[in-house]
Amino acid sequence: MKNKIISSKLMLLLLLLLPLINCHGSYLDYTDALTKSILFFEGQRSGYLPQDQRMNWRGHSGLSDGWTVNVDLTGGYYDAGDNVKFNFPMAFTTTLLAWSVIEFGEIMPPAELRNALVAIRWSTDYLLKTVSQPDRIFVQVGDPVLDHNCWERPEDMDTARTVYTVDAPNPASDVAGETAAALAAASIAFRPSDPGYAETLLRTSTRVFDFADKNRGAYSDNLNIRDGVCPYYCDFDGYQASILDLIQTN
């Protein structure tokens, strides 16, 4: 089975490395580790890639994501080594990455601080799309069963780009709560450099949290999406964990 927690592990590693950036004697080693940790995200990008993409072997992909539901769901990150966009771990990873900038941004090399903010925004721009409609959250793009049975580059993928959706009053506290946490943390990270974008993130975070609070329960309990999210990112710990994450963010 593919390593489904690679993104989260890299973020935890990044959090451990950042306080050591200024350590004498190992400065270059830790700086290189930080660079490669952030660079990893460029290899996981979905959508239209910018001209300054450093991973130049990666091309545009997933350009029709969301067309089956008449919504633009391009962008975001692929999960681990597959071509599925799972919002639950993507939002969690974004929360951690944003907090690494909040806590240690002042001691990061300027170029890497910029790259970290770009990595955050690549995710938050996508997450904003997933909550663009009232009382609805798009929680996943891509059929994981078909995808995991077909190893191919995202530029060449021909598997179904199924969109998984939760509408109120069906439960989605965990994924909505984690999405709200990611947007809230990112709003703090962007406040010094882009206050307008930060305000958009904070305002949307508040609305998404209301959705999580009013529609309590695990998103994987919805029968219409359960086969697509379980056993990959099924809620095993209870939806309260994501709500607690958001409370700690604030």
Q: Measured between alpha carbons, how far is residue 117 from residues 46, 138, 157, 166 in Å?
A: 17, 24, 29, 29
Find tokens 């709200």 and name the residue.
180
Which residue type occupies 115?
N
**Looking at the predicted structure, is the pLDDT value of residue 16 above 90?**
no
First-last CA distance in the chain: 36
Per cent of the chain over pLDDT 90 is 66
- Quote the tokens at residue 78: 């692929």
237, exposed or middle or buried, with CB in 10 Å at 0-12, 13-18, 19+?
exposed
What does pLDDT average to over the chain? Answer: 86
Secondary structure class of 158 (helix, strand, coil): coil
Question: At 177, is the pLDDT very low, low, confident or very high (cuts 50, 70, 90)?
Answer: very high
Q: Which residues pair with 85 in a beta bridge?
A: 141
On the question of a cis peptide bond just before residue 169, with omega within 30 degrees of 0, the verdict is: yes
Find tokens 């998404």 and name the residue.
208
The domain locations on the chain are: 6-249
Quick one: which of 82, 83, 89 has its CA closest to 219?
A: 89
* Lowest-confidence pick of 27-36, 92-101, 184-193, 214-223: 27-36
For domain 6-249, the CATH class is mainly alpha
Bigger pLDDT: 4 vs 129:
129
Task: Note the pLDDT of residue 14.
Answer: 54
The CA distance from 129 to 189, in Å, is 20
Bigger pLDDT: 205 vs 82:
205
On the question of a cis peptide bond just before residue 231, with omega within 30 degrees of 0, the verdict is: yes
- Quote the tokens at residue 140: 């996943």
Quick one: which of 239, 238, 237, 246 has its CA closest to 207?
A: 246
